Structure 1
Amino acid sequence: MKSLFKTVASAGIALAVSATTLMAGPLMDRINKGEPVRIGFANEVPWAYPGENNKPLGFVNAYVLGVLHEMGYDNVTPVVTDWGGLIPGLNAGRFDMVTGGLYILNSRCQNVDFSEPMAKVGDAFVVPKGNPKNLNNYSQIAKAGAMFVTGAGYNQVESAKKGGIPDDHVMTVPGPTEILAAVRAGRADAGGVTYFTAQNLAKQSNGALEVSDATQLPEWTQSWVGIGFRKNDSDFVKKFNAAQKKYLGSPEMMKAVEQYGYTKANLPGDKTAAQACAMK
């Protein structure tokens, strides 16, 4: 009887372990096997960008590394791709999360799961010095018949349409470098990016470009930033959100991100990912 009892008990334990394993998503399965967490990002200064040997730099990367450390995960591998390849690369299994600074948009929520927000950020334009055409919001660009440039896959593509800019006046390019080049060369009158990116591009232009007056943009251009995960990694997302709740806004976090320009004004408030998904 004792032997039979031990056999049944052992089988029960094995089944419980098996069930736990089955419930684990691909990311937790990798972690349980001792494999690294692969973070995916593009070259988006100061959000997330590669340093020497693809070292993950930028305030979103710094933030994510802090949350992962809070969770006890320090085995991390960076994977650099272009912006348009972030969500496809995530769902194709090339990396395990997107740290590139994704706005939580309804169109993206159909394809990925987001962590709870880690930042609130607005749009801005880079324009020629002096802003000669007075382009500070999307409707002004539409009325002026001006050419607008932004990155492929950027939320500003949707914003331009909502703001009334016709499709034939919207140019899409791979990323910030090409946006800067298009406005500097006069192929576009305004480049649509985030406020953080606009500041960085203006600095890179050596005085040729400036940042538009972002206060003239409507409230609906404000967006919340989350970390993107595959739909079948919901178990990990729950753990990430629990750790994020402790880390977000902490002295440790603010110290890690301050060099990139993130301040307390960028904290997301009480907006949830579900609310952000429903808004935009």
Structure 2
Amino acid sequence: MSFVKTAAAAFAAVAISTTATLAGPLQDRIDGGETIRIGFANEVPWAYPGEGNKPLGFVNTHVLGVLKEMGYENIEPVVTDWGGLIPGLQANRFDIITGGMYILNTRCENVTFSEPMAKVSDAFIVQKGNPAGVQSYKDILEKDATMVTGAGFNTVEAAIKEGIPENKIMQVPGPTEILAAVRAGRADAGAVTFFTAQALAKENPEIEVTDPGALPDWTQNWVGIGFRHDDADFTAKFNEAQAKYLGSEAMLNSVAEYGYDEKVLPKGEKTEWVCANR
């Protein structure tokens, strides 16, 4: 074999090797004809299972729309508890977190987030009439009230930052248990996202939602789609497709039934900034 042919063969081998190195585990699964496994909990109206575990909710709907734009429709839903989303991603039980997860500095250490797909607020659910008079974390602290929220929710960090002692923060698996604690009077207020609070109050007339504007501005959060760090190649392609799809007429029409509208769209904030500031 001539030197030219040998050099060409060596270059091709290096190119193939480099390509294989750049391709992350998710892209390898897709190239091998396997499903894209999306992981989410039962968080109405963010992401939740319908009949046969059909992925419903505005985050699931958005992600499915982006993946379709990318040419991928071989999707497998995986439902787990909220607290199992990041461990499940790391343990390779699914490939993407579509549960509506806030981009937080502590999570960015373990998850690569897409660029934001929403900017949202938190709020409290309280019994009708708000007997404890809770509108903010400071109210909970000053009134020596008890708050309930989900294990692993951003609201745990927020409450501690506002000075609420941990023995006044009841942590439960998710919204169903949060609602039960407030209805039974075991907690004076349940800390959830404003979307979740609205959905719970709609189905439970004995519950009302506090004003999200009563919470400090730093509790405003951005929602991202979670990927493994090893899937940076796929995340970059997802971001490219999302940039074209997010806010489009097709996207907004698909998520309108869940209460998502153009007011929720991020205003150009980047995940790098959010990871550093939240």
Q: Which whole-Å deviations, capped at 9, do the CAs of 1:91-130 have from their partners, x for residues lacking one?
A: 1100011000000000101111100000000000000101
- 273, 276, 279: which one pairs with 2:277? 279
- Counterpart residue number, 2:248: 250
- Counterpart residue number, 1:208: 206
- Counterpart residue number, 1:189: 188
Alpha-carbon distance between aligned partners in 1 of 2:110 and 2:220, rounded to the nearest angstrom = 21
- Counterpart residue number, 2:224: 226
- Counterpart residue number, 1:138: 137
1:160 Cα deviation after fit: 0.7
Would you identify which runs of 4 or more consecutive aligned residues in structure 1 move more than 4 Å?
4-8
Alpha-carbon distance between aligned partners in 1 of 2:7 and 2:54, rounded to the nearest angstrom = 50
1:279 Cα deviation after fit: 1.1
Percent identity of equivalent pairs: 64
Correspondence 1:20 to 2:3: no
Match runs of 1:151-170 below 5 Å: 151-170=150-169
Q: Which whole-Å deviations, capped at 9, do the CAs of 1:230-271 have from their partners, x for residues lacking one?
A: 111111111111111100100110011101000100001111
1:9 Cα deviation after fit: 3.4
What amino acid is aligned across from residue 132 of structure 2 in structure 1? K
- Counterpart residue number, 2:265: 267
**TM-score, with normalisation over the residues of structure 1?**
0.96
**TM-score, with normalisation over the residues of structure 2?**
0.97
Alpha-carbon distance between aligned partners in 2 of 1:224 and 1:97, rounded to the nearest angstrom = 17
- What runs of 5+ residues in structure 2 fail to find an aligned partner? none
Q: More deviation in 107-116 or 6-15?
A: 6-15
Alpha-carbon distance between aligned partners in 2 of 1:240 and 1:23, rounded to the nearest angstrom = 15
- What runs of 5+ residues in structure 1 fail to find an aligned partner? none
1:8 Cα deviation after fit: 5.0
- Counterpart residue number, 2:107: 108
What amino acid is aligned across from residue 250 of structure 1 in structure 2? S
- Counterpart residue number, 2:82: 83
1:10 Cα deviation after fit: 4.3
Root-mean-square deviation (CA, aligned residues, Å) is 1.3
Q: Which whole-Å deviations, capped at 9, do the CAs of 1:208-227 have from their partners, x for residues lacking one?
A: 11001222111111000000
Q: More deviation in 162-171 or 119-128?
A: 162-171
